[in-house]
Structure 1
Amino acid sequence: MLLVVVYLFSQYTRKEEVSRAELVDCLRKVQKEFPLGYEFPEKLPYVPIELDSDLDDLWFQKGYLRHYRYGSPLAKNFVALWPLGRGCAKKIIATLSLEITEILNRLVKAVIKK
């Protein structure tokens, strides 16, 4: 499911990378429709340890930090799929039912529009 959500984000934003914050926000909404097994805390840290571990272990992904310019101390974490990962995600989407695909598309679009 993680692979599919990252792929859908990259398709709708037309960017290779997806910020982890947006990804977590989307997965929080996806979990309301499909139980993924993550417990999202309301206080810091907002990313469940299990999800962070799953993102780090996700095959076919490259993670990196992008630092803001002009001396800002903040950095954003991004996740992007290698071409092989995008191909696997396409195959997974093809096996999902139309109803599940539509729900995932709707949730990803809602997070992007925010």
Structure 2
Amino acid sequence: MAAAAVQPDFSGGGRADEVILRNNDSTLELPFASSVSIEANAGALRAACRCAWCTKARVEGAFPGGFSGLSITQIKPIGTYALNLHFSDGHDRGVFPWSYLRQLAKGLSG
């Protein structure tokens, strides 16, 4: 019997109360109603992008080892479950569900 595929969590895990860019737009801060605030660096977020282009580049071994000096140039909501982040290197395809942002921030801080 085949193992059941793990489905991504699109529930959102609760949206942040606001979206704040700090440090010359290089840090994304997300305060939540639970009095928890998470933050992540633009380079780390860019490196964590799961779009098809980035996934293909990883599989082909062509994904950059890091992204230093990046800023976030635009943020767009995707429904109520995610943010679409645009980066200063021109990349604008990443969709970051709230639950994934929380997971990334937790991993970056701990």
Q: TM-score, normalised by structure 1?
A: 0.33
Structure with a larger share of its residues in helix: 1
- Greater relative CO (CA pairs within 8 A, separation 6+): 1
Structure with a larger share of its residues in strand: 2
Q: TM-score, normalised by structure 2?
A: 0.34
